[in-house]
Structure 1
């Protein structure tokens, strides 16, 4: 772990990976916040367990290993006891994770503007009692400014910071996270997905995931499993599938799956602001990555 970059925020610390005993076949789901983490956990669970009936909350099957707001010893013990193929959640980029043979590393990207607005909705939905019980400062559930455009530019123009006194959710951090996967996308251990592609063709993307995980499934089975992972179906099961349900993290579990829509930033940014944002992205990512990050494969010309 000494040669890995350390990522630390008020809710996570990548150093906690040091005590995790990796097994062949493990799946590490590493995504920026609000880019489809729970969705990918659901898809991995469907394929690995070959059922939509998990019998327990998804967050127990696929815990957030390096979260400091949970009992790390209990999480490690739970993972050690699991007999099925393990699939573990993290928001740590690839350069902060042990990169081992026999492990599949899955990342999901999303248009950063959609991720930013989705994160704001999630923060607004956090229950104050859960924030207090986790030992987090009350201001984490409050926006830093009442002006949404000002908040957008604070997010967009902040510097990259692997260690942050807040959640560490900025445009620079998001782009860096995806870039650590993008630069190793030809490695057979890496599987890179995009939120827009999952929305456009969920069965097709589930088939891609099955291939990445070396899981055989018939087209009929893929269609059946994909039907359990639509946004509406997952929202119906929010009490089982939303992260943090065991800690009563949300005011409303269903509101964690608020809408799943894209493009709401168009109501916030005028053409001049979009141009300014585009220039900022160009400072953070090469052109090919920048285009893919905002469109996925299905939306590229």
Structure 2
């Protein structure tokens, strides 16, 4: 968006990674205009609904696609029963097309498209909590569901993802930037801390999830998600196995093997007007892949940094 050109040109940048540092956070350059637009007070900014909105927040490559699928299937289960899988939107659409990224829509000047979403609206963001407008953070009717992941796995996944458009990118470069707090959505520890502190201050409006726990206990966490958004499963739904239907519908293997997630391109745009192919969102879907790409010394270094930054929270990834 041209009106923000002068602001963006003055920001610190990482041309190789197509990043800018905006308000202390390293973000994808093409989404900076969207973040600024969302933050605008008065006309043009994000306008919440009285019936409430649900925002899915995460650092990149931390289970965002899976959380989108689970939240969409849970919140839309009456309109789209998960057991009726032949007609379900998640069988013909990528989760990113079912749950839009706020930054992307606003960056494209399409923020008004969110007005067409049914209430309660479901949307997503990679923004730090500190970047969110008060229309979200101070709104008791707006709920935030946050998911984070072991930063070691996050970095490996981010590198594999970015190599689709930056084939020369080396993992060591991504690792060093992360340790310095200058990788995409970095500093990583600030991303986690912002939502952690918000979840402790206002647990009724911010739900803090961890990817590894979601993998271990998907059914329990889907129940937790449903209760949090005010749509708990009824005894009849529990007896009918609706929770398990949602978990099966949104499973990694199920989603990865769908035709729409094999060849089609997503609408998630990246620099140079490219798009990521839908299959790029379904690489491994597991915990611990970092051991195949990171030396023990690198792991200890990143763990030490995260433990130092997060020591007061009790969160540990080591």
Residues 202-250 of structure 1 deviation map (CA, whole Å, 9 limit, x = unaligned): 1111111001111022322111111111101111236269996146723
Residues 164-195 of structure 1 deviation map (CA, whole Å, 9 limit, x = unaligned): xxxx426x522211111111223110011111
Picking from 200, 210, 219, the partner of 1:203 is 219
In the alignment, structure 1 residue 37 sits paired with structure 2 residue 64: yes
**Unaligned 5+ residue runs, structure 1?**
127-140, 161-167, 296-301
**Offset of residue 68 of structure 1:** 7.4
In the alignment, structure 1 residue 11 sits paired with structure 2 residue 25: no
Give the 3-state SS of the residue equivalent to 1:66 in structure 2.
helix
Picking from 190, 196, 206, the partner of 1:190 is 206
Superposition CA RMSD, Å: 2.8
Q: Is contact 1:29–1:90 with CA below 8 Å preserved after alignment? A: yes
Structure 1 residues 268 and 254, CA gap change in structure 2 (3 angstroms): closer
**Unaligned 5+ residue runs, structure 2?**
1-21, 83-87
Picking from 158, 161, 170, the partner of 2:180 is 158
Q: Is contact 2:179–2:305 with CA below 8 Å preserved after alignment? A: yes
- Tell me which protein shows more strand as a share of its residues: 2
Match in the other structure for 1:273 = 298
**Offset of residue 276 of structure 1:** 2.4
CA distance in 2, matches of 1:174, 1:62: 23
Match in the other structure for 1:26 = 53
CA distance in 1, matches of 2:93, 2:230: 25
Match in the other structure for 2:243 = 222
CA distance in 2, matches of 1:38, 1:285: 25
Picking from 217, 237, 258, the partner of 1:237 is 258
Match in the other structure for 1:284 = 309
Q: Is contact 1:31–1:107 with CA below 8 Å preserved after alignment? A: yes
Picking from 89, 96, 102, the partner of 1:59 is 96
CA distance in 2, matches of 1:241, 1:196: 25
CA distance in 1, matches of 2:262, 2:112: 21
**Offset of residue 279 of structure 1:** 2.3
CA distance in 1, matches of 2:123, 2:154: 21
Structure 1 residues 68 and 208, CA gap change in structure 2 (3 angstroms): closer
In the alignment, structure 1 residue 81 sits paired with structure 2 residue 116: yes
Match in the other structure for 1:123 = 162
CA distance in 2, matches of 1:33, 1:116: 9
Match in the other structure for 2:4 = none
Most deviating of 17-26 and 202-211: 17-26
Normalising by structure 1, what TM-score?
0.77
Give the 3-state SS of the residue equivalent to 1:183 in structure 2.
helix
Q: How many residue pairs align between the two structures? A: 262
